[in-house]
């Protein structure tokens, strides 16, 4: 949360460096992919554009003790055509766990795997159509479990629909995601785990200046202990603020903080779902385009 507050302060520099004009119609077009926090916009960039990013997601808070875990993507992204974007990279993780329910105590930093992503712009925004839609598929291989930090062989196949709507020209945007995420995990104890996460989100992002956007998002997430969506184990609602700051035409940062405001564990009397999800999560992404 401290990093998010610091970024708000840093955004003042970007505001000072931006256009003083309050007429948003004169501002340059903005790519919507990263302006909604954990919710991904439909933008795929300019044909021929390349980008390097570090994208860190932190998860904090489990029942019964201390819990913090991070996963960072070291990502290369390029756009071979105006309708296709390809990304790939490596994963690094960290875990600091002590006395948390159903988790072994652990303190470690590790190389944790790799991923790729393919995005296809299915519906392009035009002057007569404010809606844009992208389909994305992201396979991931993990050698370290993202929750417990244990050594595993994990295969995740995230499929999302990313849509956004320009509500006010160059000023106010709404974003929507649908998520389907099956996972297959094989543990060192020779156990096989199949699970699926379903979810959806809605977000708003308001452009304060040409280089600064602030907003909020809400996520609804469901967890199943199978692929057939028949073994429902719980769900949760996450809500929080978002921030996007462009420092230069080729450099930007995005940040978000989500808190679980409601949750349910099947068979548990507790008011939040801290078994499949976390109390808080944070996102910090830094990107350089070239």
In the chain, where the domains are located: 2-280
Spelled out in words, what is the top-level CATH class assigned to the domain 2-280?
mainly beta
Residues 216-236 as b/e (b if ≥16 CB within 10 A, e otherwise) read: bbbbbbbbbeeeeeeeebbbb
Those residues whose C-beta lies under 8 Å from the C-beta of residue 71, and which sit 6 or more positions away, are 56, 57, 91, 92, 93, 112, 146
pLDDT at 8: 44
Report how far Cα 23 is from the mean position of its chain's Cα atoms. 31
Angstrom distance (rounded) from CA 1 to CA 227: 34
pLDDT at 23: 73
Angstrom distance (rounded) from CA 246 to CA 286: 10
Angstrom distance (rounded) from CA 253 to CA 245: 5
Q: Radius of gyration (Cα) for the chain, nearest Å? A: 19
User: Taking the chain (290 residues) in consecutive chunks of 10 residues, what is each chunk's mean pLDDT?
Assistant: 46 44 76 97 94 98 96 97 97 98 96 98 93 98 97 98 96 98 96 97 97 98 97 98 96 98 94 96 96
Neighbouring C-beta atoms of residue 191, cutoff 10 Å: 9
Strand partners, 255: 243, 284
pLDDT at 22: 62
pLDDT at 3: 44
Is 65:27 a contact under the CB 8 Å cutoff? Answer: no
């Amino acid at each position: 949360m401290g990093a998010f507050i610091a970024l708000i302060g840093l955004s003042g520099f970007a505001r000072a460096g931006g256009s003083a004009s309050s007429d948003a119609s004169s501002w340059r077009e903005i790519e919507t992919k990263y302006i909604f926090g954990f919710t991904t916009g439909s933008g795929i960039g300019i044909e021929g554009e390349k980008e390097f990013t570090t994208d860190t997601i932190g998860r904090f808070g489990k029942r019964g003790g201390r819990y913090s875990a991070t996963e960072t993507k070291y990502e290369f992204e390029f756009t071979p055509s105006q309708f296709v974007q390809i990304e790939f990279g490596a994963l690094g993780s960290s875990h600091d766990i002590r006395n948390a329910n159903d988790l072994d105590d652990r303190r470690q930093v590790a190389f944790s795997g790799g991923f790729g992503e393919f995005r296809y712009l299915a519906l392009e925004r035009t002057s007569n159509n404010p809606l844009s839609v992208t389909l994305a598929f992201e396979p991931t291989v993990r050698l370290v479990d993202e929750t417990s930090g244990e050594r595993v062989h994990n295969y995740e196949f995230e499929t999302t629909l990313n849509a956004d709507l320009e509500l006010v020209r160059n000023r106010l945007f709404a974003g929507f995601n649908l998520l389907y995420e099956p996972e297959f995990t094989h543990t060192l104890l020779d156990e096989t785990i199949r699970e699926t996460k379903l979810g959806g989100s809605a977000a708003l992002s308001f452009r304060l200046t040409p280089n600064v956007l602030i907003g909020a998002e809400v996520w609804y997430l469901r967890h199943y202990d199978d692929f057939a969506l028949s073994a429902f184990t719980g769900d949760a609602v996450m809500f929080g603020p978002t921030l996007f700051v462009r420092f230069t035409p080729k450099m930007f940062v995005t940040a978000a903080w989500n808190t679980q405001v409601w949750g349910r564990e099947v068979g548990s009397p507790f008011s939040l779902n801290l078994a499949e999800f976390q109390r808080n999560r944070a996102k910090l992404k830094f990107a350089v385009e070239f």
